[in-house]
Each structure stands twice: as C-alpha cells, then as structure tokens.
Amino acid sequence: MNFNRYFNDISENYLFAEVANRVAAYTKANPAKKVLKLGIGDVTLPLVPEVVKALRAAVDEMSEKATFRGYGPYEGYDFLREAISQYYKNAGVNLATDEIFVSDGAKSDLGNILDIFAKENTVLVPDPVYPVYVDTNVMAGRKVIFAQATEANGFLPMPDYSVHADIIYMCSPNNPTGAAYTVAQLKEWVDYANKEGAVILYDAAYECFITEKDAARSVFCVDGARTCAIEFCSLSKTAGFTGTRCGYTVIPRELVKDGVSANKMWLRRQSTKFNGVPYIVQRGAAAVFSEKGQKEIRENIAYYQRNAKTIADGMDELGIWYTGGKNSPYIWLKCPDGMKSWEFFDLLLNEAQVVGTPGAGFGVNGEGYFRLTAFGSKEVTEEAVKRIKQLLSK
C-alpha cells in the first residue's frame, strides 16, 4: 500500500484548523483570558424563524408513516431546485432545474468537482484566495499557477493571454479580500475561458453581501458563461447554514467538451458518491427563498454588515489601510508596522486576546495582511475593535 504522496506538498494543517489549534493551545495555557474570535467566517445569529418553521414541519413529516421519506434524489428535491431557479430568475438569470445540484455546501463541491477533470489540466488560482482551491488540486497532483491579486489591481487580476489555463478558479466577492468583479470584468474572463477551452469554477458563496450595483451576482449574468462556467453557492453565509449544511452547484447544459457533458458527468459522480442533503435540511433551505425567508435573512445580513462597518471605522481611527466590508463580510487589512501576518496574529492573540486570520494563509500575496470577520456578535465585534484600538494606539 502507498499513501497519496501529494499530501506531502500541502501544509500539515488546513488554514482554519491551524488557527483553531493555536487558539486552543493559548486558551489552555491562559484559561482565565476571554478570547474573542473573529477568525473563521462562522455565523453567530440563529436560523431565521421561517427556516425553523420549515425544518420543524419537515421533522413532523418524517415522523408519520404517510409522509416519511427515505433516500431522496441525488441532485436534490425539485421543490428546492425550483426555488433556487426562481431566485436566479429574479436576478435576471434563467436556469433550468436540471442545471442545479443541491449539495451540502460550496466547500465540498469545490473539492469534489475535480473528480470530473483530468489530472493533466493546468489550474489557475488567484493569490490570495480561499485555500481550498489550491489544497484540493495539490492533493490530486495537479499543477497550479497563480493570477497575482495585489493592491495595485484592486485584488482583481484580469486574464493574461500569454498564459494558458484549463481550470480557472474565481471567487467573487473574494474571500479574503472582499474584491468583487463587475459584469464587464467577468466578461473578459469568460471570453478568455471560451478561447482557451477552459472552465471557470466560480465561487459565489458571498454574493448576498454585495451592495455595489455594478458587482456581478452570478457568473451567469455574463454572455458566454454557459459554455465555460460552473457556479458554486452556499447557504452557509447567506442564511446561517454553516452547521446545517446546504448549498448548490450550477452546471449549464452547454458546458460540453468533445461531446461530453459536464452536467451529466457530475450527476454520474454524485449518484455514485453522494446520497444527497437530508430532506429536512432541504425543506429549511427552500424556506430561505420564500418571500418571508428572504426578508428575514436580509435582516441578519444587515446585522453582519453593521459589524463590518464597526471594524472598518476602528481601522479608520487607527489609520490602518484596509479594504473589503462593502461587498463581503470580511475586512482585509494591512498589518501595522510592516509586521508579517502570523506575527500580527500572535500579537493580537497574546496582547488583546483577539483572533483573526493571517493573510499569508490565503497565498503568498496575502503576506503582511490580515482578515477579520464580521460574523461575530455585535458585542464581541465591538469589544474586539476596542481591544485592537487600545493595543495599537499605545
């Protein structure tokens, strides 16, 4: 037996596991200190009433012989796929229900989708970005090249025709920087992908945080995307489903290469390796897309947006450069005094008991930056900003 040797090429721990380990070690050594966590983007508000009502009703259905359900469709129940399709329609995007696959979240599908692609593909990933894209490809032995996202290009790299790529990852609004592509900018990527015969794997997990009008809500707002893109989305950040688990992946019928349909391959893959998201959870997810559900989740999103403003105001007062917070729940800031990301992480943890995520964990270009999440409670966010201000204005 031989283990997968490509695991030697990734760091020992996943970024957020590494942060959690370091925080656990600190807490063990300093049990009396109250640690405030603005690291991993985990929501803190409970599920909204409309979702809870739907979950409860589904539990009742499962407890009656007449309405009990066993295995569901691999690709998700039609009631949820239709609700998602209607949500896209409201944003001006037409999708057939059989182009929508219900999943247990964007992270799983972003990794699992690689099953349908050959190992020989060249993968283009923006740097910095959500570490799952790089780690999952390196684990599979694929070659990864990077698109440089820097302050100079507003953390929005554009296509370079002198470089060929087969699989292109995009995350917009971007995790961690919060930068969001406009439809016109995305059109350039779609044109590039179609010309190169590449696929865009588009992570839209933060689309519900978009406030700026010209930022694209979906890659499918762009003409030509149906022949080159797959979109991943999640209810984790949209509706507080980080622990409940539900998302969806959109694969258009036109995404075909050499007569082979990506949509059909994905269905084949899912029906072989996945038994679907629990019926109860899918009922809760469908409630997110109801009129009342949308109103309720918008209130929660507004709460997190106010937290983002609290953090941004604190950075303004300290004169610290930052971006994000407008189309995303993350503030991406420059570490003060030229500190490195993990140095600043240690300083905040040891001196202020505030946890953030080191920018270096998102890629080489993230070195010297730091990410704070707006998903904490109002009280924790305010207290954390107060502590950071006290520490850094000393």
Binding footprint of ligand MLT on the chain (CB under 6 A): 16, 40-41, 107, 130, 175
What's the closest the beta carbon of residue 190 comes to ligand MLT, in angstroms?
25
d(CA 257, CA 255): 7
What is the CB-side half-sphere exposure of residue 305 using CA atoms within 13 A?
15
- Tell me whether residue 107 or residue 226 sits nearer to ligand MLT (CB atom): 107
d(CA 47, CA 35): 25
- Tell me whether residue 255 or residue 349 sits nearer to ligand MLT (CB atom): 349
What's the closest the beta carbon of residue 376 comes to ligand MLT, in angstroms?
12
What's the closest the beta carbon of residue 348 comes to ligand MLT, in angstroms?
16
- Tell me whether residue 38 or residue 190 sits nearer to ligand MLT (CB atom): 38
- Tell me whether residue 240 or residue 252 sits nearer to ligand MLT (CB atom): 240
d(CA 111, CA 234): 14
Contacts of 113 (CB under 8 A, 6+ apart): 201, 230, 232, 249, 266
Edge-to-edge strand list for the sheet holding 322-324: 322-324, 330-334, 369-373, 357-358
What's the closest the beta carbon of residue 238 comes to ligand MLT, in angstroms?
12
DSSP secondary structure string, 150-188? -GGGTT-----TTS--SEEEEESS-TTT----BHHHHHH
> Is the previous residue joined to 126 through a cis bond, with omega within 30 degrees of 0?
no
- Tell me whether residue 27 or residue 108 sits nearer to ligand MLT (CB atom): 108
- Tell me whether residue 18 or residue 188 sits nearer to ligand MLT (CB atom): 18
Q: Which residue is nearest to ligand MLT (CB)?
A: 41
What's the closest the beta carbon of residue 304 comes to ligand MLT, in angstroms?
13
- Tell me whether residue 99 or residue 231 sits nearer to ligand MLT (CB atom): 231
- Tell me whether residue 55 or residue 106 sits nearer to ligand MLT (CB atom): 106
What's the closest the beta carbon of residue 375 comes to ligand MLT, in angstroms?
8
What's the closest the beta carbon of residue 239 comes to ligand MLT, in angstroms?
14
For residue 37, report the phi and psi dihedrals to the nearest 5 degrees. -100, 110
Q: What is the DSSP letter of 15?
A: H
What's the closest the beta carbon of residue 131 comes to ligand MLT, in angstroms?
8
Distances (CA, A) of 363 to 21, 125, 297, 367: 20, 10, 32, 7
Catalogue the long-range contacts made by 384-388 (C-beta closer than 8 Å, 24 or more residues apart): 384/36, 384/38, 384/352, 384/354, 385/310, 385/311, 385/313, 385/314, 386/314, 387/36, 387/352, 387/353, 387/354, 388/314, 388/318, 388/348, 388/352, 388/354
- Tell me whether residue 377 or residue 390 sits nearer to ligand MLT (CB atom): 377
SS3 state of residue 294: helix
What's the closest the beta carbon of residue 342 comes to ligand MLT, in angstroms?
17
What is the CB-side half-sphere exposure of residue 5 using CA atoms within 13 A?
2
